[in-house]
Amino acid sequence: MKKEIRKMNHLEAINAKSIEFLSRSRNNVLMCEGINDGFYGTIEGIPDIFTSQCYELPCSENASVGLALSASAYEVTTIVCFQRVEFALLAIEQFANNAAKNNFLASGKRPNPCLFRLVIGRGWGQGPSHSQSFETMFAQIPEIKVFMPVFPNDSNFILENFEHYTSPTISIEHRWTHFSENTISSHARNQGAYVVKEGCDITIVAYSYNVLLSMKARAIVLDYGISAEVINIFCISDIDMETIKGSIKKTKNLLVLDLDNRKFSVATQILSNLMLEDICLEKAPVMLSNKGVYSPSSPKLAKEYYLSCSDLIRAIGMHLELEQENYAAMNRKAEQMEQESFSDIPNKQFIGPF
């Protein structure tokens, strides 16, 4: 009997691609704060294999980012891993003043294609201090590419291509996406948005963990004859509006999800872009995000704070004016699914210390 080959999950795919990166050249290096912790399993065992290419970073983020930017400008291509996205804020001066700007000042003669992997999350171990994402802050810095991967294919694309860019890349990984598997065989091999699941009744535009949440909501409404098209934005710094416009021209209905509750968000950028286009929608678009500014540490309070599958079901039901009987049944199904899941961890595989 032929043995079934298990698919790699997201963290395993990152690990495999990191090994490929270090194997290609001795000038490729990996730097990390707490490098022997395995960086959530994504670089587990790698420092033991590539002992001369892996370096423990001191708790001096501004200097570390400056080192990576300079090294990559002189053909020592670097990947830098920070356990929390907030750590990178201590190096915002380097990102804003020296990242892609150095190559501009050198008239294109000093490209520095390095990769910064920053982790965000929610639930246990996060709270208000470590659940922030700051994707729009980084995306406002000219020439830096900001990605938010969801599936293994997303991180595969980042790790295969960042070396070919002339400026740094930031990958902001939601830790709850590390256990995802590819739901599609492949997608367009570019940095733009792409359709995860096709549909014809409503377009759901999301990124990061909210893509997985959208997939859960889509599965529920599909049982009641509602076909939702789910789009993964993927690249936050250069939002692919053509893919989004192509979808809503078909569905005529739009639901946009934001990962956080803030001004100048990804969702508001999408909606403002659409206002400048001649896009025909049956109704005003709907935008959903978390229900507060900072995530509480308490599992109960955090559950009330974060956007849920039930929130999506209610928004879809109200927007499409579904029959009350179907609307109530979908709500019950979503609430039952949430009761059976964990409020502060993605699954039983999720372990500490972070």
Is 148 in contact with 170 (CB distance < 8 Å)? no
pLDDT for the residue 1: 45
Q: With pLDDT > 70 as the criterion, what percentage of the chain qualifies?
A: 95
pLDDT for the residue 352: 64
pLDDT for the residue 190: 64
Tell me the pLDDT of the chain averaged across its residues.
Answer: 91
pLDDT for the residue 279: 81
pLDDT for the residue 354: 58
Task: Report residues of the chain scoring pLDDT below 50.
Answer: 1-4, 185-186, 188
Q: Kindly list the structural domains of the chain, giving each domain's residue range(s) and its CATH number in brackets, ordered by start.
A: 10-177 (3.40.50.970), 194-340 (3.40.50.920)
Is 211 in contact with 307 (CB distance < 8 Å)? no
Q: In angstroms, what CA-CA distances link 329 with 130, 200, 213, 221, 297?
A: 36, 21, 19, 10, 32
- Sign (positive or negative) of CA dihedral 328, 332, 335, 341: negative
pLDDT for the residue 6: 59
pLDDT for the residue 278: 76
pLDDT digits over 53-86, tens only? Answer: 999 999 999 999 999 999 999 999 999 999 999 9
> What are the backbone dihedrals phi and psi of residue 32, each rounded to the nearest 5 degrees, phi first?
-155, 145
Is 199 in contact with 229 (CB distance < 8 Å)? yes
> For the whole model, what pTM was predicted?
0.94
Q: In angstroms, what CA-CA distances link 280 with 198, 206, 229, 285?
A: 19, 20, 17, 11
pLDDT for the residue 191: 73
pLDDT for the residue 11: 95
pLDDT digits over 263-316, tens only? Answer: 899 999 999 999 888 788 889 999 999 998 888 888 888 888 999 999 999 999
Whole-angstrom distance, CA of residue 336 vs CA of residue 90: 42
pLDDT for the residue 84: 92
Is 139 in contact with 146 (CB distance < 8 Å)? yes
pLDDT for the residue 186: 46
